[in-house]
Amino acid sequence: MGPASLLRVFWLSGCGIGPMGMSGMKLALLCSFRACSQLPLSARIQGMKFNSHCCGAWLCMIALAAGSALLGEDAEVERFAEMHPPPASWQIAGIRAAMSDPSSHLRATAIYHCVLKHWVGQCLKVEELQPLLQHANDDERSAAAVALGELAHETGPEVAEALVPLLRDSSVEVLSSVLNALIKMGGKAAPVLSRELPALLKDADITVKLCVLNAMLQVSKKAAPYATALLPLLQDADTKVKCETAQVLGEMALNVNAPEAAPAVARALLPLLKDADTWVRRLAVRALGRVDPGTAPMVAQVLLPLLQDPDEEVKLMAVTALGSLGKEAAPTVASALLPLIEEGVDNDVRNAAGEALGTLGKAAAPTVVPLLLPRLQHAKSNVRERALQTLSIMGRALAPYDKALLPLLHDPDSGVRYCAVDALGEAGKGTATYFKDLLPLLQDPDDSVKRIAVGALSEMGAGAAPEVVRALLPLLKSAGNNMLSSMAAAFWEMRQEAAPMVKELLPALKASSRQMQIEMAQCLASEGSIATPYIRLVLPLLHDPDRLVRQDVVKAIGRMGSDAAPYAQDLLPLLHDPDSNVRKVVLSTFRAMGRAAAPFAKDLLSLTQDPDQTVREILLYAFAQMGPEAAAVLVPALLPLLQQPDLFSRHDVVMALDAFGNFNQDATWQCAALAATAGLSANHTQETRFHLYLWSGHDADLILSVRWLGGPAGDPMPSQGLSATEQQAVLSVLLKLWPHSAPHPALRREMTGRIAQVAQSITAAPDEKVVGLLKKLEAQLKADAVVDSQEASAKARATVQRSLEGK
């Protein structure tokens, strides 16, 4: 997901009615967690070996720190991003009603809500979205296009053709949405895009060009079939357009998604290597390295001279690109890169060359490995170490050459031993091939070697895990704080196999430090109830005077998810812990419990007044997960929070209420909800009204009340008037709500206007039931005791009386 995509997700998550809340932050954190998980073992354990790992390692640490503070634990973030429960029947009913509202802005909000929730397929229909493409409102046209893209499996070529006029839309947002939709439609839209893209880009202004490129970047791999349509942009007069085009082409993975386009793309990129702009050269080099192995020999010949480029970044990108060219170019590339890992070469270049050789070796080990093996015997330890670092990148491709590596496990230099363990661990990952060879390294005098050995052993696969766990038991007892993170990472890797080994593992943990006990509890807790013995071991530490200890124990409990419910009573006192970070992770734990936390909803309500804003935000997300079992407690308590803007963002409160709606079909609650639009701007009113529809999906009368009240954008009275049945329905709803509207004078004044409007619309002799309803309403208007609405009631009463008199 690129920056533009994240920004759009953040905007959608807010629906325009407040700050993005925590959902956007969680997605960003999730991206960082996943990026970190792709780092090699050595980079995860020690930090960084090659320069390119530095950024990922630091991002990882930043993400983990933020995750600890905001969310309690990364597994909870993963669940948040990946769980997309389907809409309940009442939510579908509310959304269907919203789609019939006259407000374009409201309908667009409804569509984006469905997109964000992954509800498009259940709530929206192609035949109702397609006409919206012609509407005047930019937001609605854009939203309809986005939703049609989500319904790609249901659309036909006719929908793709219907989107064509919007490719010339004046709104960049609409154009971007249409392009994304067409690309998602795949083969159904291929004839349309192939025909329209060249014409769209020809003589287009820079805004349109960048919009097209940005749209393709967001779905880069799916856009690969249209790569050749972008090639003229590589010759554009604007440097930014050339850069963006090279970037997009580099992200398309043409070797997989459009191999037939690769040669043409490679040829078109070549002239950019001599461009005066360094960024153009950099991105062209990067793209060439990603185009297609079939063009590798040609690309190699062009990239090799760039190893002498005066721009350092161009040189580094050329090195990286050369490493990705595969076995066809390996003989030429390997011999060119080898000198760059020598001493005396710039450190960044040397590291990049080592990584490039390692990448090349994955695809062409017989060519690359023999060039590096002699360095394993070099007198200087740093030469041996760098050779091993490069070899470790090759992973399983290195296994046939393991005899040359095994002796280095006993090298006198600890750095060499470290790298040898790492290389053999990568070569045998998923197997126990080197178990006996690596086992003695757990006793190595150097802690860094022990740490990498622990990691390598833990990645030998499920079959070897029980033996590895047994081998690590002594370390649980004796390891100091410098081994904690490595042991935690190892047991996390083996958690499924380790958790059931209670009889062997628990005694060792009892003999270990309390910090080790907490670390292991956190690792194993995600296995649910089977981790109960490890949680019970650390449970007394919930009362520890050290706030960090209390916080870590709560995190461990939280990782049990719904299985943490038996410990809810133990956590309740910590809701009032003096440390806000402890309160945050306690709430995150209740949130992770989901519906199992519903019995404790009332206990959590006091935190709505917590002085910490993040605590209050997490509280609302916890409420939203509790399900209908908590509705009786939460629905009445949450609505008043909309009137506390100094404590709660409107978005967060609305998000929590979206999980319940007017669950008990309560008229008093409905009036308070309808009154919540008072004082809002026009757009915010319509956005809030969408949620009123959603909350009212439990009952047809509630939906009707939203149609007529709460500041609708247009006149709810149909041009042809109301039938007798419709008159009865509207008047019945107004009569039902009237007694409950007294605390909301503005709403009551609005109701008097609607009563008068319906009465005035009756031109024929009224239906008997309508007469009865009008008489009851006339009596209510006469008895209105709300000073601020009495004048409006008197006017409405006069209108009703005239209607009853047939005037």
How confident is the model at residue 83, as a pLDDT? 63
Helical ranges in 38-125 per DSSP H = 41-46, 52-70, 74-82, 89-98, 104-117, 120-123
Structure tokens at 210: 């960048």
Structure tokens at 770: 């309508």
Q: 767 — phi, psi (to 5°)?
A: -60, 150
629 neighbors 655 (Cβ within 8 angstroms): no
Ranges of beta strands (E only) in 306-395 are none
Average pLDDT over residues 106-125: 96
Confidence grade of residue 153 (pLDDT, cut at 50, 70, 90): confident
For 293, the 3-state DSSP assignment is helix
Taken as a whole, the chain contains a residue count of: 807
How confident is the model at residue 79, as a pLDDT? 47
Structure tokens at 419: 């790298």
Closest CA to 336 of 369, 358, 304: 304
**d(C-alpha 386, C-alpha 758), whole Å:** 84
Asked whether the CA dihedral 92, 94, 100, 106 is positive or negative, the reply is: negative
Report the share of the chain in percent with pLDDT over 70: 89
> Which H, E and C letters describe 493-562, residue by residue?
HCHHHHCCCHHHHHHHHHCCCHHHHHHHHHHHHHHHHHHHHHHHHHHHHHHCCCHHHHHHHHHHHHCCHH
Average pLDDT over residues 618-628: 96
Average pLDDT over residues 523-552: 96
**d(C-alpha 158, C-alpha 347), whole Å:** 57
Average pLDDT over residues 764-791: 94
Average pLDDT over residues 562-584: 97
How confident is the model at residue 245, as a pLDDT? 94
Tell which phi-psi region holds residue 711, choosing left (phi > 0), alpha (psi between -120 and 50) or beta.
Answer: left
- pLDDT tens digits for 168-183? 998 999 999 999 999 9
- Domains of the chain in start order, with CATH, are 3-82 (no CATH), 203-337 (1.25.10.10), 633-804 (no CATH)
141 neighbors 169 (Cβ within 8 angstroms): yes
Which residue's structure tokens are 């269907």? 96
- pLDDT tens digits for 56-76? 332 333 333 333 333 344 444
Tell me: pLDDT of 422 over 50. yes
Structure tokens at 152: 């790609």
Comparing 244-248, 288-292, 419-423, the range with the smallest average pLDDT is: 288-292
Tell me: pLDDT of 488 over 60. yes
- Which residues, at least 6 apart from 132, have a Cβ–Cβ distance to it below 8 Å? 107, 140, 141, 143, 144
Tell me: pLDDT of 647 over 50. yes
Confidence grade of residue 13 (pLDDT, cut at 50, 70, 90): very low
How confident is the model at residue 48, as a pLDDT? 28
Average pLDDT over residues 399-414: 96
How confident is the model at residue 289, as a pLDDT? 84
Average pLDDT over residues 507-515: 94
pLDDT mean across residues, the chain: 88
Which residue's structure tokens are 């009340």? 705
Higher-pLDDT residue of 7, 600: 600
How far is the CA of 511 from the CAs of 488, 504, 507, 655, in angstroms?
A: 17, 12, 6, 46
Burial string for 152-178 (b: 16+ CB within 10 Å, else e) reads beebeeebbebbbebbebebbbbbbbb
**d(C-alpha 186, C-alpha 403), whole Å:** 49
Closest CA to 77 of 9, 147, 154, 25: 25
367 neighbors 334 (Cβ within 8 angstroms): yes
**d(C-alpha 245, C-alpha 216), whole Å:** 10
Tell me: pLDDT of 750 over 60. yes
> Which H, E and C letters describe 385-432, residue by residue?
HHHHHHHHCCHHHHHHHHHHHHHHHHCCCHHHHHHHHHHHHHHCCCCC
**d(C-alpha 358, C-alpha 391), whole Å:** 6
How confident is the model at residue 449, as a pLDDT? 97
198 neighbors 229 (Cβ within 8 angstroms): yes
Average pLDDT over residues 718-737: 96
- Which residues, at least 6 apart from 569, have a Cβ–Cβ distance to it below 8 Å? none
**d(C-alpha 266, C-alpha 273), whole Å:** 11
Report the share of the chain in percent with pLDDT over 90: 74
- Which residues, at least 6 apart from 446, have a Cβ–Cβ distance to it below 8 Å? 414, 417, 418
193 neighbors 149 (Cβ within 8 angstroms): no
Closest CA to 603 of 584, 617, 585, 623: 623
How far is the CA of 341 from the CAs of 336, 418, 570, in angstroms?
A: 10, 19, 57
29 neighbors 23 (Cβ within 8 angstroms): no
How confident is the model at residue 294, as a pLDDT? 74
Structure tokens at 520: 């292991």
**d(C-alpha 419, C-alpha 383), whole Å:** 11
- pLDDT tens digits for 366-394? 999 999 999 999 999 999 999 999 999 99
Higher-pLDDT residue of 744, 288: 744
How confident is the model at residue 293, as a pLDDT? 61
Confidence grade of residue 351 (pLDDT, cut at 50, 70, 90): very high
Average pLDDT over residues 615-621: 97
**d(C-alpha 717, C-alpha 726), whole Å:** 10
Average pLDDT over residues 741-766: 94
Q: What is the pTM of this model?
A: 0.82
Confidence grade of residue 685 (pLDDT, cut at 50, 70, 90): very high
614 neighbors 584 (Cβ within 8 angstroms): yes
Closest CA to 395 of 367, 417, 424: 424
Closest CA to 484 of 534, 450, 457: 450
How confident is the model at residue 732, as a pLDDT? 98
Closest CA to 211 of 242, 177, 181, 236: 177
